[in-house]
Chain A
Amino acid sequence: MKNKPEQNLHVRLSECQLKWREGRIIDLPTITLARGESLGVMGPSGCGKSTWLRWLLGVTQPYVKVTGDIIIANHSLVQRPIEESGIGLVMQEQALFPHYNVVENLMFALAQQKLSRSKQRELIAENLASIGLPDYQQRMPHQLSGGERARIALLRAVLAKPELILLDEPFNGLDQARRQQVCQWTYQFLREQGVAAIVVSHDENDLTLAHHRLQWPQAQQEQRNEALS
């Protein structure tokens, strides 16, 4: 990946190693992202991409040991709980809380911004209109199409004002035509919002619009001492 001038750097992930219990090892290079930039990470299903994303988020995963550092806005985030990391998450599965309607899903993200309820509603109405879904406030997630769900999920993540957003296979389950449309909208929206993002997918077509791309490396097997002797 190209080096950027230090002052533009917003997210810096140092060289990182993932080591599974059974001895599988993945080494990742240093990654840097400026605001509004995105990194597309491609690799087959089950190669460890989601495990890495969860580590970035701060989820404890007892079956894998990860070494490396996450620096956002000059602060190290390793060991910080998820809720204090300033990292948002968008997943295709369970993208929204299915038991709350659209406006309630979005209000959950706005809660920490100390806005009055009416101000929250106003902001949500504006943002829904800006993504082309103005009359969707009272709809339940099951009443939305896959593309609509994906857009609202990304809007929800952005409304919480994160420093970095992780998108885990965000376009899965969408048909080909819809997938391309939602994909274009997503990258454009992230750029406009000035949020750094990491998009993980097994389909390289999902990542063509990303600023940087990383092919998930081949796993190596740990050389055990016993085997050497």
Chain B
Amino acid sequence: MKFRSYFVTTFLAALLLLPWLLSLTGLSAKLPLGSAALWAYPGILSATLQTLAVGLFATLLSTVLASLILFAEQHKPSKLWALTFTAPHLAFAVAFLWLFTPFGWFDRLLPGPWAWLEQQSLITLTLILIIKETPFLVVLGRQQLLQLPYQQWLMQGRSLASSHWHSWWLLVFPPWLRAMRLLLIAVAIYSVGVVDIATLAGPLNPPLLGPLLVSWQQQFDPLSRELAAQGLWLLLALTMIAVGWLYAQEKLIWQIARWRLARVRKSRTSGREIGLITFVKGLRWLLFAATLASGLALVALSVGNGWFHPALVAQQWSWQAAANTLERLASPLLTTLALGLVTAVLVSVALIVCREWQRARGRDYPDVVFMGALLVPQTALVLAWLQTDWLPFSALSAAGSWWLTLYAHAWFAFAYAYLSYAPAERAVTQAHLTTGRSLGFSYWQSWWYFKRPALTAAIGYAFLVSFLVSIAQYVPTLLLGQGYLSTLTTELVVLSSGAELQAPAVAALLLWLLALAAILLCGNIFVALASRRVK
């Protein structure tokens, strides 16, 4: 049996290209020009500027921190980052707010120093985004670093009498930044269009553009719909500015590096630089401790009753209320699990097919082709899909919205999973598969027997990433689910908008445990499969 290229091409086109086509047809011609209703909306200018500020600052500071951490951990990378990175961001945000903002637990323990960190503000949101984005950039940035011969560059730089510190910033950092371009664009776009965390921790009156757009889309009056259509363009414009900023930042770094190349440098790392490295090394423990404390806070909040300010401990500990909330969350939990599992299976299959399709065609397309979903704000895409006339009427039914949401989950998860699977697949030789075919096996039989064993860990990781991305999806589930679908993430946002603490804590804890269970199960299953292969 041959590799059925036409069938695969159709499958991939349907999975990957159809959403782009829908987005294009859904873009309205209502550009927010000078007299547009959008500009008359109270606080729109402030919302625009704040949205841009969050996007730029969170991305910039996360990049600076990630690059310092990579420098400090060159010889001994810490595994703590992976643990911090896998905590679901929304669940983390719920616990972080309760721990560190005024009237929170640490404010009760040490009153005063937390006053600047309001429950909902630009600073709080930026800080949470930095805490979540830095480990992401460290984990993926290390993968990019390993693709560069950076140790040889450092050795040569040092043999030319330049200190380790200077050699790193002049020789390694600029090309690393260029290698990180796509990832940084994805992070900036996420930060500009963020909705879920912005709803919990972002400023109010006015909120950021992401939450504003979602709230307009959920109204049924013509003015709100018009605002949503015009706001979509504004969000796209802000995205373009953020991407432009990243290009300018990269260019600036190159210019500075070129200028510094010829200048006298210290041949020894200074005390100030060593101090900075020590601080950065301590930062991983700080972030890990904050993550761990957040996890423990969720457990405590879930079983603590009558925990009012300024009490340090709850009046009573009981599982009863948590059990009642759990009962209420059973259906969203099942929906989350079902969507996550089907998404993970679908994406894993699509990834394998996509890479084999490229191998069969003898062409390795640039990653950007398959990561496109990360390079446009999610909210803008989903709004465009909802505004298209091409969507069949049946998609608006209960069953239709389920399939539509699943499609969106798979599409977004595919982009993230491709990031991890493609480099691993590229590193595996096709020779064994070809040998298998020469022995009379079909293409896919040969893949299964001769190539799959070398990819077990990569497939497992892609499966896990897809599952984690799916359970964290908020905007696609909320807007495409159209009220028919409720997952732990959408429930968590709803519950967090109230004054009650216990119910959102239980939902957040459940989400966290689900992610943790997936990590442990995937890890164990794929380690077992890999070791069976070794035996």
Contacts and interface: CB of A to CB of B under 8 A. Distances in A.
Interface of A: 54, 57, 59, 81-89, 91, 93-94, 97, 99-100, 104, 107-112, 114, 117, 120, 156-157, 160, 162
B265 A81 contact: no
A114 B264 contact: yes
Nearest to B152: A94
Contacts of A87: 159
Contacts of A107: 261-262
A83 B171 contact: no
Contacts of A97: 153, 156-157, 171
B262 A111 contact: yes
Interface residues of B, number: 26
Nearest to A109: B160
A208 B23 CA distance: 69
27 contacts: A59-B155, A82-B158, A82-B159, A83-B161, A83-B164, A83-B267, A84-B268, A88-B160, A89-B155, A89-B159, A91-B152, A93-B149, A94-B149, A97-B153, A100-B258, A100-B261, A104-B262, A107-B261, A108-B160, A108-B261, A111-B160, A111-B262, A111-B263, A111-B264, A112-B265, A114-B264, A160-B159
Nearest to A84: B267
Contact of B156 (A91, A110, A111, A117): A91
B32 interface: no
A87 B164 CA distance: 15
A111 B265 contact: yes
B150 to A, nearest CB: 10
A91 B258 CA distance: 23
A32 to B, nearest CB: 22
Nearest to A88: B159
B262 A94 contact: no
Interface in B214-271: 258, 261-265, 267-268
A193 to B, nearest CB: 16
Residue of A81, A93, A99, A114 contacting most chain B CB atoms (<10 Å): A99
Nearest to A59: B155
Given A108-B261, A111-B263, A120-B262, A160 B160 contact: yes
Contacts of A57: 155, 159
B175 interface: yes
B78 to A, nearest CB: 18
Contact of A89 (B156, B162, B167, B170): B156
A108 B152 contact: no
Residue of A57, A81, A110, A111 contacting most chain B CB atoms (<10 Å): A111
Contacts of B158: 81-83
Interface string B137-149: 0000000000001
Contact of A156 (B160, B164, B262): B160
A73 to B, nearest CB: 16
Contact of B163 (A54, A83, A91): A83
A102 to B, nearest CB: 12
A157 B152 contact: no
A83 B149 contact: no
B262 A99 contact: no
Nearest to B171: A97
Contact of B162 (A54, A83, A85): A83
Interface of B is mostly: helix
Nearest to B265: A111
B159 A104 contact: no
Nearest to B153: A97
B302 to A, nearest CB: 46
B174 interface: yes
Nearest to A112: B161
Contacts of A114: 264
Contacts of A108: 157, 160, 162, 170, 261-262
A142 to B, nearest CB: 13
Contacts of B157: 97, 108
Given A111-B262, A112-B264, A114-B264, A94 B156 contact: yes
Contacts of B265: 111-112
Contacts of B149: 93-94
Contacts of A112: 161-162, 264-265, 267
A107 B153 CA distance: 15
Given A83-B164, A157-B160, 4 more contacts: A86-B161, A94-B153, A108-B261, A111-B264
B261 A99 contact: no
A59 B159 CA distance: 10
Residue of B160, B163, B263, B268 contacting most chain A CB atoms (<10 Å): B160
* Top-8 shortest CB links A-B: A82-B158, A89-B159, A107-B262, A94-B152, A83-B267, A83-B158, A160-B160, A112-B161
Nearest to A110: B262
Interface string B432-473: 000000000000000000000000000000000000000000
Given A100-B258, A104-B258, A93 B268 contact: no
Contacts of B264: 111-112, 114
A89 B162 CA distance: 13
Nearest to A107: B262
Nearest to A113: B264
Given A81-B268, A94-B152, A104-B258, A99 B161 contact: no
A83 B268 contact: yes
Contacts of A89: 155-156, 159
A215 B211 CA distance: 72
